[in-house]
Amino acid sequence: MPLAFTPKDWESRAKEMGLPAFRGRQIFDAIHRRGVTSFEAMTELSRADRRRFQDLFPMALPEVVRREASADGSVKYALRLSDDALIEAVFMPRGEALASAESEFADARAEGPGGRSAAIRPPRTPPGERATLCLSSQTGCAVDCRFCVTGRLGAGRNLSGGEIVGQYLAVRREHPDTSLSLVFMGMGEPMLNFENVAQALKVFTKTISPRRITVSTAGFPDGIRRLGELEKVPNLAVSINAADERTREEIMPVTRAHPLAEVLAAMKAFPLPPRRRITAEYVLIDGVNDSVEDAKKLGRLLRGLPVKINVIPLNPDPRYLPEFQPPSETAIDAFVEELARQKYTVTVRRSRGPDSYAGCGQLKGRAADSRRR
Ligand code: SAH
Ligand code: SF4
């Protein structure tokens, strides 16, 4: 799929067509720096060459079929792939909050109790601002975490490398002046589509620093190892979600195949550049894993690992997740305080309004619904 071609790939295609290699690099730059996906518009090529490339390498971006904007400025996009499968991607302004732990913690505290309904609304992202884009890697997820809507809806197929890159280009087109950080925290488990995610990363890291890209996994040790072996290693996030094996088995059945100890060992072995840390994600669920005792255990579990902890209050869904409720504000505060007391850097990814999506972790795709329509 041409959208997943690297500069080298385009260079060899150009050479095969009897053109100098720099023509290939020009095509890569047109697509990935200027967002041009039609050869017709690449006027740096001759008319005849434009036509030849167009015939050989037709490129189509996923189609944006729905946009849901929320008051905090985030936008959830539904994108239709060529086989009609739907995926979701979420644009989140002020994305640096995800990357910079301290600011998010300060932010969460400043909102105080009842932060969810805080009246202060950040303005729309002005031009030149940074944002984070949450990307999907599959059209569903077979991992079956009990608290995850994507998981409840069941397995999907892998996105191709070109579809992953196309997803980014399609959303970037809607926010041309925003510089995007990327997180693989949308639909699917990136490590179960490793080759295509790695191919997309090769392309992304030509124009985006790997420091601004994060791959999130439910905890596949082999995938974590392979990610660490890439030429350009992105940030790693691991969904820990429970402080002991038994609770984790209940909410993340994948724990039976890949016990926590193995996941933690893979995290320990992950090659981290200086001053970078792994994000340990923890979805906080009322009465399941949100006690101060759980926070104490979590602190002990992660002791010695180079992590920052991202606490994500459950995003409820009465239809798909009727048995799970979000934690109380008091429980969130007590949980965070205990981890802070243990000297962890903690961030809380809060919903900032009733129509907010709390970033990712609530993505449905809904391919089936759309076919019915
Ligand atoms: N499969 C990968 C990436 C996609 S899920 C993974 O599991 O890490 C991205 C994040 O959303 C994970 O941390 C997951 O625990 C979280 N998540 C899933 N369902 C959620 C929900 N209902 N509320 C809040 N976060 C959720
Ligand atoms: Fe899949 Fe991640 Fe959802 Fe688990 S949390 S079901 S791994 S998308």
- Residue with CA nearest ligand 1 atom 9: 185
153 C-alpha vs ligand 1 centroid, how far in Å? 14
For the Cβ of 218 lying below 6 angstroms from any atom of ligand 1, the answer is: yes
pLDDT at 109: 32
pTM of the entire predicted model = 0.90
Active site residues: 88, 360
Ligand 1 nearest atom to the CA of residue 141, by list position: 1
32 C-alpha vs ligand 1 centroid, how far in Å? 28
For the Cβ of 125 lying below 6 angstroms from any atom of ligand 1, the answer is: no
pLDDT at 121: 41
Best residue among 136, 141, 184, 216 to mutate for probing ligand 1, ranked by most atoms within 8 Å of CB: 216
Give the DSSP per-residue string, 27-74. Answer: HHHHHHTT----GGG-TTS-HHHHHHHHHHS---PPEEEEEEE-TTS-
Distance between start and end Cα atoms, the chain: 30
For the Cβ of 190 lying below 6 angstroms from any atom of ligand 2, the answer is: no
Q: How far apart are CA 89 and CA 360, in angstroms?
A: 8
Q: What is the pLDDT along the chain (373 residues), one digit of tens a residue?
A: 899 999 999 999 999 999 999 999 999 999 999 999 999 999 999 999 999 999 999 999 999 999 999 888 889 999 999 999 999 999 998 744 443 333 333 333 333 333 333 333 444 545 578 999 999 999 999 999 999 999 998 999 999 999 999 999 999 999 998 999 999 999 999 999 999 999 999 999 999 999 999 999 999 999 999 999 999 999 999 999 999 999 999 999 999 999 999 999 999 999 998 889 999 999 999 999 999 999 999 999 999 999 999 999 999 999 999 999 999 999 999 999 999 999 999 999 876 544 545 446 566 666 544 443 3
Best residue among 145, 158, 192 to mutate for probing ligand 1, ranked by most atoms within 8 Å of CB: 145
For the Cβ of 336 lying below 6 angstroms from any atom of ligand 1, the answer is: no
pLDDT at 353: 44
Q: How far apart are CA 184 and CA 164, in angstroms?
A: 10
Q: Is 245 exposed, middle or buried (0-12, 13-18, 19+ CB in 10 A)?
A: middle
